[in-house]
Amino acid sequence: MPKTAFRLESFTESVIREMTRISDKYNAINLSQGFPDFDPPPELVAAARRALAEGYHQYAITWGSPRFRSALAKKQQTWMQIPINPDTNIVVTCGATEAMIVAMMTVCNSGDKVIIFSPFYENYGADTILCGAEPVFVPLYPPTFDFDPEELRKAFQEGVKALVLCNPSNPAGKVFSSDELEFIAKLACEYDTFVITDEVYEHIVYKPNIHRYMAAFPDMESRTISCGSLSKTYSITGWRLGYVIASADVINAAKKVHDFLTVGAAAPLQEAAVAALELPLSYYLKLQKEYTQRRDLFLTYLDSAGLQYMTPQGAYYVLVDISEFGFENDVLFCQWLAKDVGVAAVPGSSFFHEPVNHLIRFHFAKKEKTLKAAGEKLLQIGSLL
Ligand code: GLN
């Protein structure tokens, strides 16, 4: 029999998605794969109905429908504080997942090195390998998830083509400070490197933390490739709408990669999502308030259960320390948790390059009712062991 490609041998299937299957198997409350169990704003659903009735059934322009790009440019320009031309600075993709691999394939030649902070969202490792590049991991040290500036400089000295920055970070819940971003930006300029950002949690940030866009730092506009998505901000992970924002040169090249990978994101949903991009500032303030309530509610249960964690500064994940339970590793713990406690989490080891086996990731993008039900179950951990 002919064999499948070697490049697939160095990574496994997504552990996050596998945990969803395990959760379903045991009928657990799924706090593993991060997606909301509540609906998007009703005006989006109405706009989607209208788009289907109005006949948007064929391909949109491959790099994004003009109305969507124009609304996106307007919204992101306000938040990112950089000029964005809807025709030359945007490629609309099938979620940030496609945006990230498009960005990497756009800048990396085979054998190029890419810095990835560890822990990292599992796609980045696979993305680098799929485009023939080599990851250089730089640790973010728990419990605060700070990096060692000297270690980062050394990684740049290896001659890297790009650095991947997930900010706010999945799974660490870290929001990089201005000083940290400035340091990364300076190194990127000094070593002539791209920064590929994953900023899908840009609007899920907890006070007093503030999200700052790498593209807006001095001299970074032309070397930052900003990847984003509507999934998390508007609770529409299944619509698969993401984008790359970058300089005209990078976008020219990225359009080609995107075109041959997917042709384009769903045309009717791009039309409908204009309604999302035009929501007023009050929407984002409400989103932040509601996520803060979800986070605080879930953390109250973790506290009552006596679990140790770092308070998330952004995104909707929390890494919890399970060392005290005496399990051999986090994978076994997560299997037990789903089966015997009825709550699904992701083993932290799937996010770390280093051998870290004492953390598990919960997400809290869930209704109050769901979080309370999961929390009540977590309170029983001690008695079930
Ligand atoms: N970003 C989400 C997570 O980390 C969802 C991942 C996915 O399945 N695409 O859980």
Q: For residues 193 and 108, what is the distance between their CA atoms, to the nearest angstrom?
A: 11
What single-letter DSSP state applies at residue 324? G
Cβ-based neighbours of 225, under 8 Å, separated by 6 or more: 103, 106, 107, 162, 194, 195, 196, 197, 244, 245, 246, 250, 254
Nearest alpha-carbon partner for 359 in 342, 347, 350, 345: 347
The single residue listed with the structure tokens 């070697």 is 6
- Whether omega before 312 lies within 30 degrees of 0, making that bond cis, reads no
Q: Give the ligand 1 atom nearest the CA of 200.
A: 1
Give the binding-site residues of ligand 1, using a 6 Å CB cut-off.
Answer: 16-17, 33-34, 121, 170
Q: What is the pTM of this model?
A: 0.97
* pLDDT tens track, the chain, 385 positions: 999 999 888 888 899 999 999 999 999 999 999 999 999 999 999 999 999 999 999 999 999 999 999 999 999 999 999 999 999 999 999 999 999 999 999 999 999 999 999 999 999 999 999 999 999 999 999 889 999 999 999 999 999 999 999 999 999 999 999 999 999 999 999 999 999 999 999 999 999 999 999 999 999 999 999 999 999 999 999 999 999 999 999 999 999 999 999 999 999 999 999 999 999 999 999 999 999 999 999 999 999 999 999 999 999 999 999 999 999 999 999 999 999 999 999 999 999 999 999 999 999 999 999 999 999 999 999 888 7
Q: Which domains does the chain have, with CATH numbers?
A: 6-40+282-384 (3.90.1150.10), 56-279 (3.40.640.10)
Helix (H, G, I), strand (E, B) or coil at 117: strand
Largest CA distance in the chain: 59
- Any idea how long the chain is? 385
Ligand 1 centroid distance, CA of 356 (Å): 20
DSSP 157: H
Measured between alpha carbons, how far is 339 from 31 in angstroms, rounded to an integer?
13
Protein residue closest via CA to atom 1 of ligand 1: 34
Ligand 1 nearest-atom number relative to CA 97:
9
Give buried/exposed letters for 88-109 (b at 16+ CB in 10 A, else e).
ebbbbbbbbbbbbbbbbbbbbe
Q: 13, 15, 16: which to mutate for ligand 1, most atoms within 8 A of CB? A: 16
